[in-house]
Amino acid sequence: MYGNAYIDPNDKAAKMLEGEDPVKLAEFEARIARGEKIEPKDWMPAEYRKQLVRMIEQHAHSEI
């Protein structure tokens, strides 16, 4: 996830993006490349949202 730009086409994570809208996915990736903020109500790939929620939950639990 960190520091590795290569995406193996046989990788499970790459296959998770197969069902996503390619136009929306390209726009999403372009926004990230430009350094724009992604807001909660903005479109994002389902797997990205899932991982984001997981990281937020971990942070919240570490504050307790």
Rg of the chain on CA atoms, in Å: 13
Q: Could you report the per-residue pLDDT of 31-63, keeping only the tens digit for each?
A: 999 999 999 899 999 999 999 999 988 877 776
pLDDT tens figures, 6-31: 566 676 655 666 788 999 999 999 99
Residue at token pair 């109500």: 41
- Sorted by where each begins, the domain ranges of the chain are 12-63
Residues 6+ apart with CB under 8 A from 16: 45, 46, 47
